[in-house]
Structure 1
Amino acid sequence: MLSMKGDIQRYRLTYILLASSSVVYLFSALLSQSLSDMDMQVLVDMGALFGPLTVLKGEWWRLLTAMFLHGGMTHLLMNMFSLYLVGRGAEMYFDTKSYLSIYFFSGIIGGLVSLYIHPVSVGVGASGAIFGVFGALAGFFLAHREKIASHTKAFMKDFSIIIAINLVIGFSIPSIDVSAHIGGLIVGFIGGFVLSKDPKWIWVYSSTMVLLILAIISYLPDHYAQILF
């Protein structure tokens, strides 16, 4: 069994992401003057997704910052536990570039889907990115299903745990958006399937995702103008 230090060294990307969200949470808790529930205005000021600011004011950087913000302790712990489960597995099967590309593209596109479905809601959390990592594992297992059939049961067990966790989150945290989960899952699945076949395809995957992001960003302002005005 790996020691804690050895575990961190082996799965350093996952632990870096865990630590980043935790540090940001502590800062938001300080500003909110509460460790359990974050003040909505504080979250918006720190970079939460909010359609009128993100889309209409062009503050697209919120697609990234919102991934590291969480609405409360329950939200943070459940997301971090989910990331711990799937992130370590992903680091075993994907290289650094593939892992990070899948994580951030899933989170960003999941955020864009959320902005489309819920134009005036405040959205925070790493759920879209985490579902993307999980989708990547699903893509990996599908691509190599004949070689790793013995691992399928363990994978399905983790799947059940993560689905249960996110059902609890969805019912307990108003700002959680299932549409972001679905968007992230699809993006991650595509990345996992393609990059598990050949990591060199990362440039094709990344270019496709960037074009998709730009296309959605160019479309959303007109969409908002139609539904909000």
Structure 2
Amino acid sequence: MNPQPPAPTCVRHPNRPTGLACTRCGRPSCAECLRPAAVGQHCVDCLRQDQRSAPPVRSVAGAQTARAPMPYVTYALIAINVVVFAITAAQSESLLDNQRGSSLFLDWVLFAPAVADGEWWRVLGSGFLHYGPVHLLLNMFALYVVGRDAELVLGRLRYLAVYVVSLLGGSAAVMVLAQNTVTAGASGAVYGLFGAITVILIRLRQSPNQMLIIIGINVFISFSLPGISLWGHLGGLAAGTLATVGILFLPSWLRAKSQETARMIGWVAVAVVASVALSVVGATAMTLTA
């Protein structure tokens, strides 16, 4: 009498005899290593191979999307704003009046004549300063709400670019239209993200009415209350909106034939908006020094 051959064992667990096998690769596998498939059952190794070979899922802006995306750039921007505020509060020894007695606040706040004297860092640095904790909390809450979705759709680099361009647009508007004021805050960038989210909703063929209402209410508040940088808000809104239109709509308007060409067109559009904002800042600075 011939002895029976030994039962096959799982390829991943050699100590487990099994009568099951992967319907794709045919290797014996235990029940723990098999997953239901459209036809039969596949082992976990075959499933991993499928995931690696599958093309990445991309958003309408061409950014790769993950199953559980983490908005690292949004969190980093919030952290930077909070750290800068903490430094100004420590320097001024006051949480409410952090702008008084803080050398950092004095060096970074946007003041057109100071920019004209060569202190160009104020154009961006002022976007990370805030007048007191309420100003900081309002801007960071808005950044948290709209920034996460914008970062998911645009991708981290393009999202950061839109944020920076919005800051530049807000500073450029202040340089031209509010030259005798001192301006600080992330509001210009946040308004730019308001515009970006509105463009994203239109691109996704969803109703932008809610965002338009929010923008309208905030613009009305900017008109109504003293001490709010209306031109910084409007400049940031315009720059962020135009940059996002360039990313999401301009490639189709120009009939880009590939994803790479579409991304290049988007980056060129962002660079053009940034260049215009910087040119406005430079022209205004030259006028003030003339």
Q: What one-letter code is carried by the residue in structure 2 that aligns with 1:127?
A: S
- Structure 2 stretches lacking a partner, 5+ long: 1-67, 250-261
**Contact preservation (8 Å) 2:171, 2:232:** yes
In the alignment of these two chains, the number of paired residues is 210
**Contact preservation (8 Å) 2:169, 2:274:** no
Q: TM (normalized to structure 2)?
A: 0.65
**Inter-CA distance 63–126: structure 2 relative to 1 (3 Å threshold):** same
Please give the per-residue CA displacement for 1:176-204, whole angstroms capped at 9, x wherever unaligned: 31111111111111121221244332331
> What residue is the counterpart of 1:47 in the other structure?
108
Residue 100 (structure 1) aligned with residue 144 (structure 2): no
Cα offset, 1:133, TM superposition: 1.2
Cα distance in structure 2, aligned partners of 1:33 and 1:170: 32
Please give the per-residue CA displacement for 1:49-86, whole angstroms capped at 9, x wherever unaligned: 0112112x111111111111001111101001110111
> What residue is the counterpart of 1:209 in the other structure?
273
Structure number with higher relative contact order (C-alpha < 8 Å, ≥ 6 residues apart): 1
**Contact preservation (8 Å) 2:198, 2:212:** no
> What residue is the counterpart of 1:80 in the other structure?
140
**Inter-CA distance 36–127: structure 2 relative to 1 (3 Å threshold):** same
Point out the structure with max Rg over C-alpha.
Answer: 2
Q: TM (normalized to structure 1)?
A: 0.80
> What residue is the counterpart of 2:9 in the other structure?
none
Cα distance in structure 2, aligned partners of 1:171 and 1:33: 31
> What residue is the counterpart of 2:62 in the other structure?
none
> What residue is the counterpart of 1:141 in the other structure?
201
Residue 189 (structure 1) aligned with residue 253 (structure 2): no
> What residue is the counterpart of 2:64 in the other structure?
none
**Contact preservation (8 Å) 1:142, 1:193:** no
Cα distance in structure 1, aligned partners of 2:201 and 2:151: 14
Instruction: Report the identity percentage.
Output: 31
Cα distance in structure 2, aligned partners of 1:58 and 1:193: 32
Cα distance in structure 1, aligned partners of 2:92 and 2:219: 24
> What residue is the counterpart of 1:177 in the other structure?
229
- Answer with 34-43 or 86-95: which moved more: 34-43
- Structure 1 stretches lacking a partner, 5+ long: 1-7
Higher helix share: 1
